[in-house]
Amino acid sequence: MDKGLLTVSLLLLITVANPLTAKAQQKQKVSLAQALELAAKNNLEIAKAKVQYNRSEEEYKEEKEQRIPDVSFHGSYGRMSDLTEYKSGLKDRQVTAMFPDLADATLTATLPLYNGNRINNSIKKAKESEALAEITIEKKTNDIQIEVIADYLGIYKLMKVQQILIANCREEEDRLKEVKAFKKHGTVTNNEVLRIELQLSNRELQLLSNKRSISIGLHHLKTILNLHEHDSLELDTLNVLKERKVVADYEFYQNAALHKDEMRMAKGNENISMLEQKMVKGNYYPKINFYSSFGYNYPNYLFFPPNPNIYSLGKVGVEAIFSLSGLCKNKTKMAIARQKHEEVLLDTALLSEKVSNQLFAQYTRYQEVLDKIPVNQKAVRQATENYRIVRLKYQNQLALMTDMLDADTALLDAQYDRISTQIDALMHYYELQYAAGLLQSK
């Protein structure tokens, strides 16, 4: 067989035998909006919240089924011995023949008419739990989306830093060539060459560390999006910073925060706690049930003497059950239920304060970072001009190498601060929307 054909056959066999190789070739390039859509669709925590909501729907149906009459069927067959009666100790006995066969087939139905309103309250509680589970999906989606945004923008910031470091490394390499040329002419010392080489090595180490941080960030983002580990994920960041974000006044966000998912969940817990208190209170009231039964029995022991005949008998009526001991025991249960309700009310008040503090902090931080943007842009212009002047002086032997390196570092820091502030402003904007409960509307 031709060696080339054999090589191709082996490669095809390896590809078929190892599907992970083909899987590794898949690439996904996603924008921020697409990443949020993937998270809402694929994230396991959101999927779990949806399953819990489906379960709460079934639990609500189960509670409503308490209103349906309980219908049961009872059937039995047995054999009975003769009756032995002892009149004087165990000596004088008399045996009476009995009908040996016993059988019955009975249909019974019970319908609750009144139960201290506990059935209605339990149904309302299940409905509140269902609504709470639905809000939980919204909250979990918001939590995952803000995490996706933080990861996405964090990776984007590292990518911008990577670009700055690459450009700086190239400039350091050019500077190293220039300094080595100066050394040949005896205008600089070997120490200056070593300092440039050290600066370049530091930048290369920063570049390597930053590259690893990008890989870690992308892996974590893939985990949140529930993508295959062997997929290659790329970020489409072309329009990330181009869209202008409009921010309303503080009062708008303050009013919105009162209706965010956490606050609505707190109100739902208050309603559930109140219904639980009413259900405990229902123990003070009697249970009233409607009941009926109809059955066939054999033999007939209702008559005397009994006769070996099948008979049918039906009953219908109303029964009332009232627990006298419950009047005392239920006092403790009521006290516990009231304390739980007060605790839930305090939880809501504490949450309201927490939400208000978070909102104010996010709004203030966003305004602060907006104020930093023009300052950082000005700093970049100043650092660029300073670097140009110092570089020109150094080339003319009018500045020291330390001045050159300081100017280079100052320019690098200014460039990082500018891009970092722009991305932080976008992140604070989304955090403000999250704090106000408006993230999914964006």
* Cα–Cα distance measured from residue 1 to residue 57, given in angstroms and rounded to the nearest whole number: 66
Quickly state the pLDDT bin for 19 (edges 50, 70, 90): very low
CATH code: domain of residue 251: 1.20.1600.10
pLDDT of residue 6: 41
88 within some domain: no
- pLDDT mean over 324-352: 92
pLDDT of residue 247: 86
Element (H, E) at 110: strand 101-114
* Cα–Cα distance measured from residue 326 to residue 398, given in angstroms and rounded to the nearest whole number: 98
87 phi, psi to nearest 5 deg: -95, -30
Task: Answer whether residue 197 shows pLDDT above 50.
Answer: yes
333 within some domain: yes
260 phi, psi to nearest 5 deg: -70, 170
pLDDT of residue 437: 93
pLDDT of residue 395: 80
Task: Answer whether residue 243 shows pLDDT above 80.
Answer: no
Axis-axis angle for helices 401-436, 190-225 (nearest 10): 10
Task: Answer whether residue 131 shows pLDDT above 60.
Answer: yes
Is beta strand 92-96 parallel, antiparallel or unpaired with respect to 83-88?
A: antiparallel
* The amino acid at 125: K
Evaluate whether 277 touches 338 at the Cβ level (below 8 Å): yes
Give the number of other CB atoms < 10 A from CB of residue 203.
Answer: 21
pLDDT of residue 40: 92
Residues 6+ apart with CB under 8 A from 217: 151, 154, 155, 158
* Cα–Cα distance measured from residue 399 to residue 387, given in angstroms and rounded to the nearest whole number: 11
Q: How many domains does the chain have?
A: 1
> Three-state SS string across 125-145, please?
HHHHHHHHHHHHHHHHHHHHH
176 within some domain: yes
431 phi, psi to nearest 5 deg: -65, -35
* Cα–Cα distance measured from residue 161 to residue 148, given in angstroms and rounded to the nearest whole number: 20
Residues 6+ apart with CB under 8 A from 23: 228, 230, 231
pLDDT of residue 442: 57
Please write the tens of the pLDDT for every residue from 246-277: 888 999 999 999 999 999 999 999 999 999 99
14 within some domain: no
Please write the tens of the pLDDT for every residue from 426-438: 999 999 999 999 9
Q: For residue 336, give the nearest of 281, 265, 266, 270 by alpha carbon.
A: 281
435 within some domain: yes
* Structural domain for 373, as ranges: 117-285+325-441
Q: For residue 283, give the nearest of 326, 319, 335, 338 by alpha carbon.
A: 326
Q: Specify the pTM.
A: 0.84
Q: What percent of the chain has pLDDT over 70?
A: 94
- pLDDT mean over 353-360: 96
* Cα–Cα distance measured from residue 423 to residue 154, given in angstroms and rounded to the nearest whole number: 8
Q: What percent of the chain has pLDDT over 90?
A: 64
Please write the tens of the pLDDT for every residue from 22-78: 444 577 889 999 999 999 999 999 999 999 999 999 999 999 999 999 999 999 999
Q: How much is the mean pLDDT over the chain?
A: 88
Burial of 296 (0-12, 13-18, 19+ CB in 10 A): middle
Task: Answer whether residue 2 shows pLDDT above 50.
Answer: no
61 within some domain: no
99 within some domain: no
pLDDT of residue 440: 77
How many whole angstroms from its chain centre is CA 435? 16
**Residue 87 CA: distances (Å) to CA of 82, 193, 221:** 16, 127, 90
Task: Answer whether residue 17 shows pLDDT above 70.
Answer: no
Of 196-200, 346-350, 354-358, the poorest mean pLDDT is in 196-200
* Cα–Cα distance measured from residue 44 to residue 386, given in angstroms and rounded to the nearest whole number: 52
16 within some domain: no
Give the number of other CB atoms < 10 A from CB of residue 126.
Answer: 21
Helix (H, G, I), strand (E, B) or coil at 294: strand
